[in-house]
Amino acid sequence: MKIKYIFRLISPSYCEHNHVKVKIVKGLAHALSYLHHDCSPPVVHRDVSPNNILLESELEPRLSDFGTARMLSTDS
């Protein structure tokens, strides 16, 4: 699996088509939704930035660097 940093790939020449941007944003939204709603306990990433988003060869986004992430208690 070849992975690249998003900030190196997202440029006007590389990402000129909206469907590419939409695919990346939808993938990130799905990942964050999974962390917040489907994990037990829920996880808050706390550092989503271009430096922490990796793209696979098919432009599937992956969150990285969970060093500042926090798990929420079930009553929060």
Which residues form the catalytic set? 47
> Domain limits at 40?
3-65
Q: Let me know: does 27 contact 61? Beta carbons within 8 Å.
A: yes
What domain count does the chain have?
1
In a domain, 38, yes or no: yes
Look up residue 3 and give its DSSP letter.
Answer: E
In a domain, 19, yes or no: yes
* Tens-digit pLDDT profile for residues 15-55: 666 787 788 889 999 999 999 999 899 899 988 888 888 88
Q: Give pLDDT, residue 1.
A: 46
pTM for this one? 0.72
